[in-house]
Chain A
Amino acid sequence: MTTRPMTFVQASAAALEEALAIDPTVVMFGEDMADDTGGGVFGVSAGLSTKYGDRVRSTPISEQAIMGAAVGAAVAGLRPVVEIMLMNFMGIAMDQFVNHASKLRFMSGGQTPVPLTVRTATGAGFQQAAQHSDMLEAWFGHVAGCKVVTASNPADAKGLLLSCIFDDDPCIFIENTLLYFGPGAVPGEAPPPGHRVPLGKANVVREGSDVTVVSYGRQVIDAITVVDRLAEEGLSVELIDLRTIMPFDERTVLESVAKTKRAVVVHEAVKRCGVGAEVSSRIHEELFGELAKPVLRVGARTSPVPYSAVLEQAYLPQAPQIEAAIRAVTA
């Protein structure tokens, strides 16, 4: 089979197009999204409003109104896919997403599911400083009723975004700025048409027996480099890409660590109170007696994302920290 390359932007665009094509209840809105306002600030939605008319709309700069309208539309039976340009701006839509989208199914005794999807970009490494770069997945991981998803390659991005759109719960799909638009935006292999990646199912990227590394998003790419290098030294690392960050695939993680007895959790977000804390806790709770070493976490420092390039690089967890943690836990 011949393969063709696909970028992350093309992957999200393809998922949106496919969703609009197969289901007339799918609608989209966000700032600058329609073609008469630029086709999306990063071009992901280019062409869609021309093709699908009123189902793809631009909004004013009104995150609360965007999220609230998505909640209402979802309650009325549509599948809204909204774009919150950058994840930090979720702060403005927080009431609608947390107090309403995530809880209405429960509060109504199951009468009003809210099948909406939020696409939002973020990630440090671009000198965008403290209000445009945060990885905030842990905020939402703490809220019962919503799902948080991200991809480490374009094929997964397409398959996961489609699964989010057709999932019956509110989902946040994080599009890493560097992978989508930055120098790290390396194309991957395009998946076959109709490809879906199920939510709640992690991917074992590398099989190994000495130690388990659990990660997601951009750090999977860093981890692959480290893991492959360590393989040459004879260290066998099992690398798991969570794909659905929360609720995460506990089974795949626990089975792996039961085998390797050692684990490192890696993410870009601030380590303190991050997703790594939850993953590590679950491993300790289930496998405490079997662990050869306590689980280690790699994450950003407890600091807002700094502007200066030197500070930003020191803030971000990178390959050397991942390698050091793997060595420490296997020493």
Chain B
Amino acid sequence: MPDRPTLRRMYELMTTIKQCDERFRSMIAAGEIGFLHFPVRGQEVVAAALGVTLRHDDYLVTNYRGMHDSIAKGVSLGELWAEYLGKATGTCKGKGGPMHITDRKSGVMVTTGVVGSGTVIANGLAYASQLRQDGRVTAVTFGDGATSIGAFHEALNLAKTWNLPVVFLCQNNLYAEKTAYSKFQTTPTIGERASAYGLPGVTVDGNDALAIHDALQTAVEHARSGRGPYLVEAMTYRFFGHYFGDPMTYQSATEREAAIAADPVPRYRQWLIQLGHATEGELVAMDDAAKLLIDDAVEFALNSPDPDLAELDLDVYAAEVAA
């Protein structure tokens, strides 16, 4: 069981992620910003547990549905929002956008928009740590759908062959775009696939903070202590479909309603109160503090300048070349 500050920190992360996602969707709905958003609402708990388990200098590789992971790893909210809005002050100067957040300061090394591609990149980061003996662990998160890509299988095999300090974290939200997990999965769980490559793998309830925290802690310690890679499959659910505005006609409304009724964030909040880890007043203060941080971040982003047009020719190569 994590200590009290860790339990509370997890809640802070969850409420920040939840409110960021809500703000994002409300701004799109109001026409204040207009672009694709891959909602993370419903998957806050997995990210929060990862955030408190990794060290600040550990590496993270995430994907287009990565707002929760980025926040949990500690990306500054202002820079994150500025990147979402394509501003010069964003993590990537507005060039990468929400699908491609990189923030070396917080260890978010690569965010890919290509399903499954992060798994193999994580191995390279971990290999560097192995050579340098810097004690870092690399975590890579991806969806259930990503496990159908060859890269996933190659990654597990290489990671075990080289005994790399990588934690593969599959956030199984039961859908890959419009295709239900059950339609492309032939083994009962993804976790058990690890055994095919000789590494440990587990499947846990990703919406149960203690269960996922425990699994990730075990996995990260395993990797950090030199015992090699670990696969964790966290069962969860996306509340708002593949992208915000997704009509979700391919999934059953009752299934979604049941998932929303079992919303893991208020459930965890309630649990904290019941077990006396935090009072209602303290939790309200955490919610309010997160809201203020988000208000500031959004304001910072909105007031930031667009990138200079000269940026098009910069960062293409190490030294500028003629376009």
Contacts and interface: CB of A to CB of B under 8 A. Distances in A.
A129 B183 contact: no
A127 interface: yes
Interface in A168-195: none
Contact of B180 (A37, A128, A307, A308): A37
B250 A37 contact: yes
B148 A307 contact: no
Nearest to B35: A127
Given A32-B178, A303-B323, A310-B307, A38 B95 contact: no
A307 B96 contact: yes
Interface string B249-262: 11000000000000
Contact of A132 (B99, B148, B184): B99
Interface residues of B, number: 43
Contact of B113 (A41, A63, A132, A301): A132
Contacts of B100: 129-131, 307
B178 A129 contact: no
Given A127-B97, A131-B100, A311-B311, A41 B176 contact: no
Contacts of B249: 38
A23 interface: no
A303 B149 contact: no
A131 B178 contact: no
A127 B94 CA distance: 11
A308 B177 contact: no
Contacts of B179: 31-32, 37-38, 58, 60
Contacts of B116: 61
Interface string B292-323: 00000000000000110101110010000111
Contact of A38 (B98, B145, B250, B307): B250
Given A38-B177, A131-B114, A304-B316, A64 B250 contact: no
Contacts of A309: 86, 306
Interface in A272-324: 301-304, 306-311, 314-315
A130 to B, nearest CB: 7
Contacts of B115: 61
A60 B150 contact: no
A306 B306 CA distance: 12
Nearest to B251: A38
Nearest to B306: A310
Contacts, number: 124
Interface string B235-251: 00000000000000110
Interface string B79-123: 000010011000010111111100000000000111110000000
A131 B316 contact: no
Contacts of B323: 301-303
6 contacts: A31-B179, A37-B250, A38-B250, A92-B114, A303-B316, A307-B83
Given A61-B149, A127-B86, A315-B312, A307 B178 contact: no
A88 interface: yes
Contacts of A61: 115-116, 145-146, 148-149, 176, 184
Contacts of A88: 114
B26 to A, nearest CB: 19
A307 B95 contact: yes
Nearest to B311: A311
B145 A308 contact: no
A31 B177 contact: yes
Contacts of B322: 302
A36 interface: yes
A129 B99 contact: yes
A16 to B, nearest CB: 18
Interface of B: 35-36, 83, 86-87, 92, 94-100, 112-116, 145-146, 148-151, 176-180, 183-184, 249-250, 306-307, 309, 311-313, 316, 321-323
A314 B312 contact: yes
Contact of B149 (A36, A62, A304): A62
A89 interface: yes
A250 to B, nearest CB: 29
A37 B312 CA distance: 39
B122 to A, nearest CB: 17
Contact of B148 (A41, A62, A89, A315): A62
Contacts of A303: 312-313, 316, 323
A38 B180 CA distance: 10
A131 B96 CA distance: 10
A92 to B, nearest CB: 7
A315 B100 CA distance: 18
Contacts of A128: 36, 99
Top 5 nearest A-B pairs (CB, nearest first) are A307-B97, A38-B178, A308-B86, A60-B148, A60-B184
B242 to A, nearest CB: 9
B306 A308 contact: yes
B141 to A, nearest CB: 16
Nearest to B93: A308
Nearest to B99: A129
Contacts of B151: 92
Contact of B95 (A58, A301, A308): A308
A59 B150 CA distance: 13
Contacts of B307: 306, 308, 310-311
Specify which of B114, B179, B307 lies most central, judged by the most chain A CB atoms within 10 Å of its CB: B179
B137 to A, nearest CB: 26
A41 B178 contact: yes
Given A32-B178, A38-B249, A314-B312, A89 B95 contact: no
A174 B288 CA distance: 49
Nearest to B83: A307
Contacts of B183: 36-37, 58
Contact of A307 (B86, B150, B313, B316): B86
Nearest to A38: B178
A30 to B, nearest CB: 11
A88 B309 CA distance: 25
A59 B313 CA distance: 39
